[in-house]
Amino acid sequence: MAEVVIATRAKDYAQWYQDVIAAAELAEAAGVVRGCMVVRPHGWAIWEKIQAELDRRFKETGHQNAAFPMLIPLSFLQKEAQHATGFAMECAVVTHAGLRAVDGKIELKSELEEPYVVRPTSETIIGHFFAKWIDSYRDLPLLLNQWCSVMRWELRTRLFLRTAEFWWQEGHTAHASHEDALEEVLRMLEVYRDVYENVLAIPVIKGIKTANERFAGALETYCVEALMQDGKSLQGATSHDLGQNFGRAFNVTFQNKEGVRDFVWQTSWGCTTRTIGALIMVHSDDNGLVLPPKVAPIHVAIVPIYRKDEEKERVLEVAHRIARELREDGLVVKVDDREGMKPGAKYYEWERKGVPLRVEVGPRDIEANTVVAKLRACDDQKKTIPMASLGVEVGKLLDFLQKALYDRALAFRTANTVHVDSWSDFVDVFKDERNSKFVYAHWDGTTETELAIKEATKATIRCIPLPDQGLTVEPGKCVKTGNPSAQRVLFAKNY
């Protein structure tokens, strides 16, 4: 394949984002299937790492995985629309089943009596089964999760961030009381925070969405929001308090301890492959992808260096021995023994693919019983490491990088977060088309003002931060209208 030249962030951030994905071979637009993408092996391997981290935490908190049909009867959306406050409109619709060949041309065979939509999310179909499975408070809580892809017909797509089909997990739970449901909503929000901060090395703000940004049918939508390098915000995951809305729509009732029938209290929560978009936009640089070691499909790339044939054998032997040692520590190690390719070209490729640590081994290293190691980011210095302590030192370097990436992202966020109290300052912060910041400002609590601010600046309310998110909760005056405000909220342009 042709080599991809990566645009600089300063020159063209949107192009840089695309180039990083192409250069690391993470994904590509499907083209022939409108709005869809192909996730290539290196991209999917990152998703598998994220899946494993989330899945372990879901199971530790008592959830079980299951699988529900990918098609949903159209009438289910009708039910949802009547009881909840809306539903996903941009669905792919299956109207026919079966094909036939007529004069060598393929035609559709039978029209279905009732169309199906390809699931945009599964609250409705899962609600239908909850109604069959739940009868008594003894059946509660019911704690399920599903890994799958879903489809929403998107006009403007962007790899990982917004595509018609995307991959995700969707948790769906039912509880005997609103209190229990709310506890669940916050428990899963904390799981997302934990994975974002401690695995993806991305600091997040936990908060509540405004009514305008809330999931249709939810009482409240909780979220984690992360700051990208262009100052825009990315919604990292959501956790919904569905109240009894879906219970009412799908008649999910239970007999409580007092013998009275009531609708269950439900939650749903999800995290998608856009997480990979966040990884790219938070950590990567003009040389390509940067990955925290905990989600890197390959931890260490070993590049053997030799000139003569008599050096080659010895160097390769040592390279493979080192690889074996490191693999015993649970690391994924690639020995890049490709022929006819210069070490520099190999360095360049592993750099673009975001491999956290490169190890170089040549004849002089072997003589000195050392290797040369270089981290992908956060530290430019090459290090000479004694072979005897290689495992320990590599472990330390990877731990260092994991922490350094988080610290760097947090420092960037701190530097790009401001409190704004006047409308002229507010407009000023967001005036550059291509940039944004995290802005904490007062808001009068109305959708009208929220939309007026968006209209004027393109900034939206990303969330109302929870009380424990480091922001002093104090009343003030709305930055736009001057009307009373209960607390500052988080504004930013967003993905």
| Binding interface with its own copies (CB under 8 A) | 1, 30, 32-33, 36-41, 43-45, 47-48, 64-74, 76-78, 81-82, 89-101, 104-106, 108-109, 115-118, 125, 128-129, 133, 135, 144, 148-149, 151, 153, 165, 167
Nearer to its own copies, 97 or 388 (CB): 97
DSSP secondary structure letters along 412-427: HHHHTEEE--SHHHHH
Is 89 or 392 the residue whose CB approaches its own copies more closely? Answer: 89
Judged by beta carbon, residue 63 or residue 209, the one nearer its own copies is: 63
CB burial readout 190-224, b (16+ within 10 A) else e: ebbbebbbebbbbbbbbbbbbeebbbbbbbbbbbb
In one letter, which amino acid is 411? A
Q: How far is the CB of 119 from its own copies (least distance, A)?
A: 10
The distance of closest approach from Cβ of residue 426 to its own copies in the complex, given in angstroms and rounded to an integer, is 36
CB of 404 to its own copies, least distance (A): 29
Least gap, CB of 97 to its own copies (angstroms): 4
Task: Give the nearer residue to its own copies in terms of CB position, either 124 or 402.
Answer: 124
- Residue in this structure with the two tokens 């039978």, named with its chain if needed: 110
**Minimum distance, C-beta of residue 410 to its own copies, in the bound complex (Å):** 32
Residue 25: DSSP 8-state: T
∠ CA(427), CA(432), CA(437), 5° rounding? 70
Q: Taking the complex as a whole, how short is the minimal distance between the CB of residue 493 and its own copies, in angstroms? A: 27
**What span, in angstroms and rounded, lies between the C-alpha atoms of 157 and 20?**
17
Tokens 């899963």 belong to residue: 188
DSSP 264: P
DSSP track, 195-208: HHHHTS----EEEE
Q: Is the separation of the CB atoms in 494 and 223 below 8 Å?
A: no
- Closer to its own copies by CB, 37 or 371: give it: 37
Would you say 122 or 449 has its CB closer to its own copies?
122
Q: Which is nearer to its own copies, 258 or 468 (CB)?
A: 258
Task: Quote the crossing angle between the two packed helices 390-415 and 274-283, to the nearest 10°.
Answer: 90
- Minimum distance of its own copies from residue 141's CB (angstroms): 13
Distance CA 312, CA 112 (A): 66
- To the nearest whole angstrom, how small is the minimum distance from the Cβ of residue 71 to its own copies? 5
Is-cis flag, bond preceding 141, omega within 30? yes
Closer by beta carbon to its own copies, 12 or else 111: 111
Give the burial class of 153: count Cβ atoms within 10 A of its Cβ; 0-12 exposed, 13-18 middle, 19 or more buried. middle
Could you identify the residue written with the tokens 């109305």?
446
